[in-house]
A and B are shown apart, each in its own frame.
Chain A
Amino acid sequence: MNTPSSEPQLKIYCEDINKTFIQKGHMEVPVIRNISLEVEENEFLVVLGPGQCGKSTLLRIIAGLETPDTGYVALDGFPVTGPGPDRGLVFQGYMLFAWNTVMGNVEMGLKLRGVPKQERRAVAHHYIRLVGLEGFENHYPHQLSGGMKQRVGIARAYANSPKVMLLDEPFGQLDAQTRMFMQHETSRIWEHEKRTVIFVTNNIDEALFLADRIVLMEGKLPGRIKKEYIVNLPRPRDHENPDLLELRALITSETELVL
């Protein structure tokens, strides 16, 4: 187990990660305690937990934006030392470049890697079509609705053809209706172009709808993994499916009221 390369299917491997933040200059706040995690190739893993349980920090560590105090993250058997284009991150607050059009946002990653204009336009166009934003290429982010903005965020991450997609509560700011729709869309896009996905959310239904496997986090800081559940149901799923509801009851019983 300690040599991830021996597992051909293993994509991401997190070994005993600890992280402590320093708040207001002098307070130490432990955020993540002893988290170990394995993600297989093309697996849709959902990290479920309430607000403030360190799940976003875990994602940022996997993305390479934060360094763990102890432990390490390995991708394809090689330790992660910093952020890189092999992991695409979708942000909760969209984080689009307001000064770029939809096209400009989606092609940014390719542009940074020096892909010629013609080529990156074609790739970006493909992903804009995939997320259903055809015809909006020349719109600026402030002209789009929340759901459309996050589609741009997803297309931007996808267009960089990462090995792993990391989504940090991507639909947290959307209304319930749009959120449901975006879940369907995410499922559709993922089935269309399979990737290894780590999806962080605080919404249990979202987790059940999307996940191959759910990692349930402890309800308070420091963040720990509490339980894991395999969701072995066909897609596209139905929220009313009795097996799903049974699993939902099981997970709910494990979570405190804060959820």
Chain B
Amino acid sequence: MAYEEIVVKKPLPLIALPCLSVAAFLLFWEWIVVSGTVPSVLLAPPSQVFTVFMDKLGNPNPDGAILAVHAWTSLQEAFIGYSLSLLVGIPLGLAMGWFRIVEGLIRPIFELIRPIPPIAWIPLTVFWFGIGLTGKVFIIWIAGIVPCVINSYVGVRMTQPTLIQMARTYGATDWQIFHQLCIPSALPMVFGALQIALAYCWTNLVGAELLASDTGLGYLITMGGRLGRPDIVVLGMVCVGISGAILGFIIDCVERRLLAGIRR
């Protein structure tokens, strides 16, 4: 149809205000430290954080590793733990949604373990696996598996009953219904779990590294705190935030790709 194209303008304040507000925030942050309102032993201004960032790119002092090593360690742990939780959690949740035996056997244990905050496992993982990679992967796995199981379970449970009955009238077996009907219809819910699980994993990774680690972004934050270096602490926090946002963005793209075929 030959409709005319026109451009709708947002009111100017709505475009300008967000930029102004971020700029004002950064300036205020810089100002309260530089002017001495907040002592510089407590908070580092953005400019100093940037300087430290440039410095830490190549300088392993004072915490023992350059920034890239910390980031790489964290990403590696996050990636392994996250993948494992998807690999185990999604099939488990799907099976719990369809097979009564699986649900009956797994659900009570799942409900027992679910309310335990994942970082409460830190002491046990330190006892069992030491402070290396395995322990942290275990904690991230525990953290990520919960939303995977719940979403996959609910996804299968929300399959339209009429579709299941339709499949039965065509003579489909239980197994055929499960993997050709229930799993595809649960997919949107399952993909919904990807973001949630990532956020859980990332939070708990930082917690695990704060408490039991010798490299990683969380460790960088702890060391900054121990050494009384607010610039390093803030740098660590900023890095954690940015990497988390980037990971979230990647998962978002993947999710959109995968979901494109099965729009609800």
Contacts and interface: CB of A to CB of B under 8 A. Distances in A.
A and B touch in the complex (CB under 8 A): yes
Interface string B1-45: 101111110000000000000000000000000000000000000
Interface stretch (A8-16, A19-27, A88-96, A136-144): A19-27
Contacts of A29: 1, 3
B10 to A, nearest CB: 10
Q: At the interface, is chain B mostly helix, strand, loop or mixed?
A: loop
Interface of A: 22-23, 25-29
Given A25-B8, A26-B6, 6 more contacts: A22-B8, A23-B3, A26-B5, A28-B4, A28-B6, A29-B3
A28 B8 CA distance: 11
Contacts, number: 16
Interface residues of B, number: 7
B3 A27 contact: yes
Contacts of A25: 8
A28 B6 CA distance: 7
B2 to A, nearest CB: 10
B3, B5, B7, B8 interface centre (most CB from chain A within 10 Å): B3
Interface of B: 1, 3-8
Contacts of B7: 26
A221 to B, nearest CB: 9
16 contacts: A22-B6, A22-B8, A23-B3, A25-B8, A26-B5, A26-B6, A26-B7, A26-B8, A27-B3, A27-B5, A28-B3, A28-B4, A28-B5, A28-B6, A29-B1, A29-B3
Contacts of A27: 3, 5
A26 B6 CA distance: 5
Contacts of A22: 6, 8
A115 B122 CA distance: 62
A180 B6 CA distance: 45
Nearest to A221: B1
Contacts of B3: 23, 27-29
A25 B6 CA distance: 8
A29 to B, nearest CB: 6
Contacts of A23: 3
Contacts of B8: 22, 25-26
Nearest to A22: B8
The 7 closest A-B CB pairs, nearest first, are A27-B3, A28-B3, A28-B4, A26-B5, A25-B8, A26-B6, A29-B3
A25 B4 CA distance: 12
A25 B8 CA distance: 6
A28 to B, nearest CB: 5
A22, A23, A26, A29 interface centre (most CB from chain B within 10 Å): A26
A25 B10 CA distance: 11
A75 B182 CA distance: 56
B139 to A, nearest CB: 41
Nearest to B5: A26
Nearest to A26: B5
A177 B1 CA distance: 39
A20 B200 CA distance: 47
A23 B3 CA distance: 10
B189 to A, nearest CB: 23
Contacts of A28: 3-6
